[in-house]
Structure 1
Amino acid sequence: MPSDHAEPGAGPDGPGGYDLRHHGDAEAGDGLVDFAVNVVGDGPPSWLRERLVATLDGLGRYPRADHDRRARETVAARHGRAPGQVLPLAGSAEGFALLPGLRPRRAAVVHPGFTEPEAALRGAGVDVVRVPTAAADGHLLDPAAVPAEADLVVVGNPTNPTGVLHPADSVRALARPGRVLLVDEAFADAIPGEPESLAGDADLPGLLVFRSLTKTWALAGLRAGYALGDPALLARLAAPRPPWPVSTPALEALIACCEPDALSAADQRARELAAHRVSQAAALRRIEGVAVQPGLAPYLLLHLPDGTGPEVRRRLRENGIAVRRGDTFPGLGPDHVRVAVRPPETARRLVEELERVLRTLAVPA
């Protein structure tokens, strides 16, 4: 198991010593019931699998320009944009790795939030300031807290790991001349109707939106996503890329998952997830000492009784359950854990094991 959260102070990943490169897949493992990774299912549905398999006969050729064009056109139609406002990516992670190429002088990253953008920027020597949200305010974004001099602002919506969905107007308020506003919408399609999304805001200056296919379609191993933004901004983002950065199967996934039938299926999945989230959150709240952060995402942020976090995670793992540690997210501590939303029969095991572990810890030695 990874080492516990470092004490506050200067660390290799910036203030506080948070391990910004730690992700949920490090917690999961063979034989464990996986609540650490926010991917729905073990693999893509059969119809999508067939579309991907059909591309294998073409792997002897480099990804084709017409395939790339079809991907841009399909994604553009899905969001009411022009094809020139779409950049296919090898997953959102590639987009984050490209951020230093925008040459920001000072970047502001809203936290607690996905840590890969900050890790990529700090690794390239960019000056990064963290903008903390407060648990007392439900971790809602306060646009006034973002430094005026920041020429790159990064915010997740919904935010990972809190699950908070910020009002679109609050996010829009961060846009201003000379600033790039990056909204990470990796989980937007996991919320029915995609409320508060800025994916269709083609005229908002400096806006970049990153989208991922990883979560809803169980494509973590394929690496497929896209960026939306002004063509000139996308060209700056893409400048450091090598030729053919997105594979033929990934381009096909973009097309398949943005067609009308797939969008309808995704919305149905989102509605099922929403129902599962409500029941799972209610069950977890009934456990004495467990606080559940309200949210709309396909994961829940829990605060365990003070001082129990590391031992609870260890004992859950011993009993076959993987959860995502929260103390690698700036602003959270060792008693925070994130758990993916799962079907009721799977969630029941987490609830029962967590309640049993906490009950055991409460018994004096």
Structure 2
Amino acid sequence: MSGARDHGGGLDAAIARHGGARDGWLDLSTGINPVPYPVGALPFDAWTALPDRAAQDRLIAAARRFWRVPEGAAILAAPGASALIARLPRLAPTGAVRIPGPTYNEHEAAFLAAGWKVSTRSSKAQVAVHPNNPDGRMWQASEITAGFAVIDESFCDTRPDASLVALAGRPGTVVLKSFGKFWGLAGLRLGFAIAEPALIEALTESLGPWPVSGPALAIGARALEDQAWARTTRERLRTDAARLDTMLTARGARVAGGTDLFRLYEVDDAAAWQERLAQGGVWSRIFPWSATHLRLGLPAPDRWGQLKAAL
């Protein structure tokens, strides 16, 4: 992989090319839960006061319980997992890093920017996106062997049973969590690093004071404490992912992988599929490394008809 940044989203470009109003488009180019956590009303001082220690402690305690963080590991809340990805490569002496691809390309971009080289054989450092984006590959604990290991679990909250968070207490191993995907609140910009205390302390210093806003602290704690919502959401996502597979395979696509938040399909011509879907106001994800792979997120409950019509 080249390290060029290629992402889902980009709906502005789709609108510029195909027209239509933003609220008429169905954006399936990301893997964000289309039924977000209901944030509810927030205390007024969450907006007006600097984030206090009590709010931070509540969020960290909720995160520790929700992800069953090992006792020897520490947790840091940050303004999005991407802020952590950009900083992590600077916490270890540069060398070679193993980043099996295709995968989420911000990891490679961050390591290259910090002076690292990407190698297929490096044992010094490794990145494991678990489950992988876009093919959903799951890693085993025995495969995490590097002295400096980044385990990106941004899409793992649909599969808590498969989490590798138990490894977070090992020296040099950090597990990343994204709040935007499973809880559907990407605009909140909240992510977490779970690792040995020394590594978390170094990350904390790099972020500076008050890295997470008051509203994000309050909403994040409230959501992580709501285990019932998480259980119900996992069931719905599992059902909707199967429904999407049924729709796409009926039209000639083949399931090539994915998670319960996004599905990867193999098609005859991915660009042609994207164009046809766009004519129906549906935005999808294709990749510069493949002419035949198409990725789709899940529609909101009231938008399945639009996808069916576009297909």
Name the CA distance, whole Å, in 1 between partners of 2:207 and 2:124. 22
Structure-2 residue corresponding to 1:97: 86
CA shift for structure 1 position 256: 1.3
CA contact (8 A) 1:101 1:237 kept: no
Look up the equivalent residue of 1:183 and give its one-letter code: I
Report SS of the residue matched to 1:293: strand
Which runs of structure 2 are paired with 1:259-298 in the superposition (5 Å)?
A: 259=225, 262-288=226-252, 290-298=253-261
Given the superposition, is the C-alpha separation of residues 84 and 61 from structure 1 closer, same or farther in structure 2, using an over 3 Å criterion?
farther
AA of the residue aligned to 1:223: R
Name the residue aligned to 1:313: 274
Q: What letter matches 1:90 in structure 2?
A: P
Cα distance between partner residues in 2 of 1:206 and 1:124: 17
Tell me the matched-pair count. Answer: 300
In the alignment, is residue 59 of structure 1 matched against residue 47 of structure 2? yes
Contact 1:101 1:236 in 2 (8 A): no
Instruction: Supply the distance in 1 between the matched residues of 2:292 and 2:64 (Cα, whole angstroms).
Output: 42
TM-superposed CA distance for 1:80, in Å, is: 4.0
Matched, 1:49 2:33: no
Question: Is 2:98 the counterpart of 1:125?
Answer: no
Partner of residue 70, structure 2: 81
Identical counterparts, % of pairs = 25
Note the residue ranges of structure 2 that are not aligned, 5 or more in a row. Answer: 16-21
Structure 1 unaligned residues grouped into runs of 5+: 1-13, 132-146, 355-365
Question: SS of the residue aligned with 1:163?
Answer: coil
- Name 2:138's counterpart in structure 1: 165
**TM-score under structure 2 length normalisation:** 0.87
Q: Trace 1:318-357 onto structure 2 (pairs within 5 A).
A: 318-327=279-288, 332-342=289-299, 346-347=303-304, 349-354=306-311
Q: Distance in 2 between matches of 1:116 and 1:320?
A: 28
1:21 pairs with 2:43: no
**Which amino acid in structure 2 is aligned with residue 100 of structure 1?**
P
Give yes or no for contact 2:155–2:259 (8 Å, CA) kept in 1. no
Q: Tell me the CA shift for residue 343 of structure 1.
A: 5.4
User: What does 1:195-214 correspond to in 2, within 5 Å?
Assistant: 195-214=161-180
Distance 1:348 1:326 in 2: 26
- Aligned twin of 1:258: 224
Letter in 2 for 1:60: T
Letter in 2 for 1:68: Q
| Paired position in structure 1 for 2:27 | 34
Question: Which of 54, 57, 64 pairs up with 1:69?
Answer: 57
Corresponding position: 1:154 with 2:127: yes
Runs ≥4 residues deviating over 4 A: none
Question: Could you tell me whether the CA contact under 8 Å between 1:165 and 1:295 is conserved in 2?
Answer: no
Root-mean-square deviation (CA), in Å?
2.4
